[in-house]
Amino acid sequence: MSKVKSLLSTRMGFFGLASILFWLKTYLVYQVEFNLGVSGAIQQFILLINPIAFTVILFSIALYFKKTKRAYIALFVVMAIASMILYFNVMFYREFSDFLTMNILLGSNNVSGAVVSSTVAMMRPWDIFYWLDFIILLTAILYKKKSPIKMDSRPLRKRYAVATTILGVALFAGNLALAESNRPQLLVRTFDRNYIVKYLGLNFFTAYDAFQTAQNNHVKASADESNLVDIVDFAKENDAAPNPEYFGEAKGRNVIVIAMESVQQFLIDYELEDENGEKHEVMPFVNSLFHDESSYSFDNFYHQVGQGKSSDAEILGENSLYGLPQGSAFQTLGSTNTFHAAPNILHQEAGYTSAAFHGNVGSFWNRNDTYQQFGYDYFFDSAFYDVSGDNSLEYGLKDKLFFDESVQYLEQLPQPFYTKFITVTNHFPYPLDEQNAGFPTANTDDETINQYFATANYADQAIEEFFNYLKASGLYDNSIIMLYGDHYGISNMRNPHLASLLGEDQDEWGDFQNTQMQKVPMIIHVPGAKNGQVSHKTSGQVDMLPTMMHLLGLETKDYLFMGQDMLSEEHDDTIPFRNGNVITDDYSFIGQSIYDNNTGEEIQDTLSEEELAKLNQIQEDARKELGFSDDLMMMDLLRFYTPESFSNVERNDYIYSDQLKYLENDPLRSKSLIEMNGGQSTTDLYKTDAPELSDDTTEPAKDSEGNTDNKDQNSSEEMDTSEATE
């Protein structure tokens, strides 16, 4: 015991004790307060060790002070600041299931006011334990006579302080390497703050967020209206005049957008042959929509997402802008940027109410913040659904249950409304539990590919059930329904294993075939229309918003869109990809190669200098378009540009977790389906064969405000490869 007292009475010993106590306290908070979606022994180990490195680095600051009092004061100041950051995050997480960011701390978010006003209410009796280490150590130093621990008056050599800092850096490097092995490209492809905390720790997240905020603010501070000149000129020249045949065809109708997770174009009309030689149509209902006389469908429609995956698809589809060259625009810029997004445009130009529906946590891809900036009135995330037990898979609520539980909120929205439903069941690695199994699996040497068709079939059934409800409730005839694939489902490295199922030679598979596989379905279903068609023109997700607006009878010429109306006779067939590749009707520009789309052969060596120069200009124009979009996003240039009779978003006075009482008191509620139905709910019109509901044991219980009793907001559990994001 005397040796322990002697050790703790040295600066290094006291520093070590403070570090150990803070590490253990942080780990306790992780387990008790935060819901980080940890699974498996490796993630548990990473969670255990991730507080150590930054604790050592931060606390080592005190070791650089030679004078005794200054050294101990510095340690307690650092410890107090670190403890406050930890505790403030605890309180914030209790209310918002998310972590504090610099934007919130600096007051640029309406959430900051809610935090201050409800601080006392968020406190708990056991919170004293989160300050106990600080109190005990401070007491031990202040009460010198009774304390077994004494201040060490001997100056500490600088090399010990440096060595301690280096140790912390080395520990962090090891932590990062281990995290990268379990979650590749963790920092490059950040899509949930929970993941950074889970893998690298809360202190690292705080520093990382501060750095990103400062970096973004610096870029924005250097921008002004002059940066818009070339972009405005491009947008005006790029705008494609609407086709009079279709302009306003869906004027005044509700808009329902369905993001079909990981659905690729090759699934359209595809039949999977089972082991007995019998063929099974994978997506029969979506196929029927694709070819319906009331549908405008596109079979050369490409996803254009980058590292932001599903969130990039939302940027493209609702803003007609591209995602960022690296990372996710939702995560990096979504909390503060100005957007001219579909929800706000339709609200201001045509009085639409807007809502997004998603059976995963709202923090995923930073949707809670970004949807506020988009102008969404309401966002129903996993907090509004029963996601417990067998109801969910890795990335959220199963699609059949998701649509079934969504209609209780959909029927309350004032019409006309703009809604978006984000499905998740057809998500890598495409697991499907036994009670939902039934569709045959493929027989390749890749298990991911084998499962893909079964989950796609499940998604198809869920969409059909939702359409049946729309028809039964009366919403169908007064709506326009847009369905699109958000991104690829089978990655390039797996595509050769898929070749035989597509009638292709695996040995002949290459870059051209991989690029063709980036096609996803695009269906605009307008009930009652008789002039539907399957268009073969080359188009992409950036074209979705202008097309929708023209169908609704809204002009696009005053907006800074990168895309064009796909139904316009002036539509340009040049489609840039985020990786620099470009597709047109006739050519594919892939890396340094140019391919003929009809033959799939490289042709750059057969072209004349004049032909090559013309095609190179197409590539250059595409890169310029990407650059304009990047400038708009990174410099937040839309804050300097406001179309006539339009105003930028004013964030809601409420947070989405409190939205139900606002929905119930919406001044336009009389225009909702439920009120137009005499106050009678239409939820009983929804028919599903979901086995989870067969005995009615998993129906979510609602409180007086309609909230589900189950508030399980588990973060989606990520997989081991780069495919595992929405």
Q: Which amino acid is at 722?
A: S
CA nearest to 385, candidates 668, 690, 94: 690
Is 487 annotated as a binding-site member? yes
Give the residue ranges of DSSP H helices in 201-279.
202-221, 229-238
Q: How far is CA 697 from the centre of its chain?
A: 31
- Cβ-contact 632, 333 below 8 angstroms: no
- Cβ-contact 634, 219 below 8 angstroms: yes
- Cβ-contact 110, 653 below 8 angstroms: yes
Give the residue ranges of DSSP H helices in 367-525.
367-374, 399-410, 447-473, 495-498, 511-516
Q: Residue 220 has what DSSP assignment?
A: H
Catalytic residue (one of 19, 297, 310, 568): 310
Tokens 């898929």 found at: 498
Annotation says 310 is catalytic: yes
Is 486 annotated as a binding-site member? yes
- Cβ-contact 662, 380 below 8 angstroms: no
Phi-psi region at 326: left, alpha or beta (left = phi > 0; alpha = psi -120 to 50) = beta
Is 340 annotated as a binding-site member? no
What distances in angstroms separate CA 235 from CA 35, 36, 240, 377, one per listed residue?
44, 43, 10, 28
CA nearest to 203, candidates 127, 289, 89, 118: 89
Please state, in angstroms and rounded to a whole number, the distance separating the CA atoms of residues 233 and 231.
5
- The β-bridge relationship of strands 533-535 and 295-298 is parallel
Partners of 482 in the β-ladder: 257, 524
Helix axes 193-200, 158-182, angle to 10 degrees: 130
- Tokens (6 digits) for 579: 């990786």
Angle at 304 between CA 298 and CA 310, to 5 degrees: 100
Is 261 annotated as a binding-site member? yes
Q: Residue 140 has what DSSP assignment?
A: H
What distances in angstroms separate CA 637 from CA 20, 218, 634, one per listed residue?
47, 13, 8
- Cβ-contact 265, 290 below 8 angstroms: no
Which positions make up the binding site?
A: 261, 427, 486-487
Which positions make up the binding site for substrate?
A: 427
Which positions make up the binding site for Mn(2+)?
A: 261, 486-487
Report, as residue numbers or ranges, the catalytic residues.
Answer: 310
